[in-house]
A and B are shown apart, each in its own frame.
Chain A
Amino acid sequence: MVIAAIAGTMFGPFAAAQTAKPAEADGPILGARAVSPTAAFNIVNPAGSVRIIGWDNDSIVVRGRIAPGERFYFLGGREGMKFGMYDQAANQPMRPAQFVIYVPKRSTVSPKTVSADISATDVSGVFNSVSGAIRIRGSATSIEAESINGGLDVDVAAPWVHARTGQGHLLVRGTPQDVDAATIGGTLDVASPAILRGRFASVSGDIHYVGQPAWGGIFEFSNHSGAVDFLFPRTTSARLELSSVVGLIENGFDRVRPAAVGPHSLRINLGRGDAQITARTFKGVIRLRPE
């Protein structure tokens, strides 16, 4: 699949790293202690990488490597901790540090980086980066991932996902239920059959939705100058309302008679019309294509 190929190119190095087990290969232990299973962790690492793994132990272990002369802090108690690198001043060069962090699965993490990539498995939380890539997978109760211009790959089973980036590529897959995802100029790819409520927006980046929308799902797509592309199986059951102020609407389901057609609008029912999809753009093209 095209989206899988894109994700593989973007996050290939992460995929290899994710399979690693807790080991000395991850570096020496920087900090460890017993914590509550629902503890919260604030993590700061401006440059390098942060890998977070949820495990079934009520403890936190931080392994990693930091540059000589850099200072690492590890503070807090059972219910909450903060740890990471002391942030350098804005005009100082950043020396990379690599963290591998094991936390209880029910805990909440809040990693914050500048250029460091973040990858997380089986944890919930709020993920922030300026330009680092963020990849989240596994199960979670809620995910909020935001980057100024880094790429985001959210591949989770979660009731709630909120994802934002500026110029980065944003990919939503897995089995999230409620999704609110947006980019400014970056491409937004959605490939999940499980989304029940979805809001997807961009200003100038293209939005691609691939797959069968869930029965009873409600989706809203909004774009200014980027395209909105739907690639649906022929068995799709959805009611679509597509409109563009000055952009074109291309309908590839030519065997289905539209309910209403205007110069820049299209209303069409595919199958029984179980999912409800609204898409609007200012000048971006809207394409509806069968797989």
Chain B
Amino acid sequence: MNAPRHLTEEDRQTVADGTLDPQRSEEIAAHLGVCASCAADVARLEKLMRRLHDAPVASAPSSAPLDEMWSDIRARIEQTKIVPLAPLGLAGAVTDRTAAVRRRSLWLSASLAAAAVIFIIFERMPRGAQPDDSAPASNGIPMSVVAESSRVYEQEANTLLNDLELQRSLLRPQTAEAIDHDLRIIDQAIAELKDAIAHDPNNRSLRQLLASSYRQKVELLKRAGITG
């Protein structure tokens, strides 16, 4: 018996988003019943569309004035801030350019002075000292920065995963298989590291290894986008 022809990309999309011509539904359903490859692909598309449908919609309308949008943006920055933002009044005084420039110069001077002090402290630290997890890592990166980089990589990985799902039907089967295999290895490593961090949240090495694993995942997904 001849192998059945696969559904076209358009057919798969219309089945997944429910816009398939009713006259063809019987024929398509029959094919999906015997073709595991197309059925799996349609299931993936349906899952992706559900995810897109369930995603939260931006609360501010696109026509909202900038001042109204600022409160939302500010709230989101505040959630992830390290240094508190200036009071709202300062943000509104955008017309006073001289004051803004002066403030920027002050901040710059203060930052440079702080950086110089930190540099001197680290340069004078005894190099033979015992490792201490409460201090910055040997490469001078504070724990908060290491944790933040993991979070950023994780977000980027999720975005790239969605992109990969969108173009999965265009990938050659061997390519998709190789990518999935590598993703499983990385995800297993990430799961082990997260589990270890749950038991030892202040272990800097674990955090750095987690950031490294996420970086590997992001790079693999980017590679998949280029070579796939």
Contacts and interface: CB of A to CB of B under 8 A. Distances in A.
Contacts of A262: 131
B97 interface: no
30 contacts: A90-B171, A112-B227, A130-B174, A131-B175, A146-B223, A148-B179, A148-B224, A148-B227, A148-B228, A164-B219, A164-B223, A166-B181, A167-B178, A167-B181, A184-B216, A185-B182, A203-B189, A204-B185, A222-B209, A224-B189, A224-B193, A239-B127, A245-B196, A245-B205, A245-B206, A278-B138, A280-B205, A281-B209, A282-B192, A282-B206
Given A166-B182, A225-B189, A280 B208 contact: yes
Interface centre among B139, B203, B223 (most CB of A within 10 A): B223
A222 B216 CA distance: 11
B226 A203 contact: no
Given A185-B182, A282-B192, 18 more contacts: A112-B227, A114-B227, A130-B178, A131-B178, A146-B223, A148-B179, A182-B216, A182-B219, A184-B185, A201-B216, A203-B185, A204-B185, A220-B139, A224-B189, A245-B196, A245-B209, A282-B193, A282-B196
- Which applies to chain B's interface (DSSP): helix, strand, loop or mixed? helix
A63 B182 CA distance: 36
Nearest to B175: A130
A114 B176 CA distance: 12
B76 interface: no
Contacts of B15: none
Interface of B: 6, 127-128, 130-131, 138-139, 170-175, 178-179, 181-182, 185-186, 189, 192-193, 196, 203, 205-206, 208-209, 212-213, 215-216, 219-220, 223-224, 226-228
B170 A260 contact: no
A9 interface: no
Given A128-B227, A147-B227, A280 B209 contact: yes
B145 to A, nearest CB: 16
Nearest to A269: B128
Given A129-B227, A262-B131, A265-B131, A185 B185 contact: yes
A267 interface: yes
A220 B181 CA distance: 26
B207 to A, nearest CB: 11
Contacts of B138: 241, 278
Contacts of B206: 245, 282
Contacts of A131: 174-175, 178
The 6 A-B pairs of least Cβ separation, nearest first, read A224-B189, A166-B182, A184-B182, A222-B212, A149-B178, A90-B172
A17 interface: no
Contacts of B173: 90
Interface centre among A130, A147, A241, A267 (most CB of B within 10 A): A130
Nearest to B176: A90
A125 to B, nearest CB: 13
Nearest to A201: B212
Contacts of B220: 166, 184
A114 B205 CA distance: 37
Given A148-B224, A203-B216, A260 B130 contact: yes
Contacts of B170: 90
Interface in A135-153: 146-149
A139 B160 CA distance: 34
Contacts of A225: 189
Interface string A152-170: 0000000000001011000
B185 A148 contact: no
A32 interface: no
A19 interface: no
A147 B224 CA distance: 9
A167 B175 CA distance: 12
B199 to A, nearest CB: 11
Interface string A257-273: 00110100101000000
B189 A148 contact: no
Contacts of B127: 239
A78 B52 CA distance: 45
Contacts of B203: 245
A148 B219 contact: no
B11 to A, nearest CB: 15
A184 B223 CA distance: 12
A94 to B, nearest CB: 9
A114 B173 CA distance: 12
Contact of B128 (A90, A166, A259): A259
B189 A282 contact: yes
Contacts of B219: 164, 182
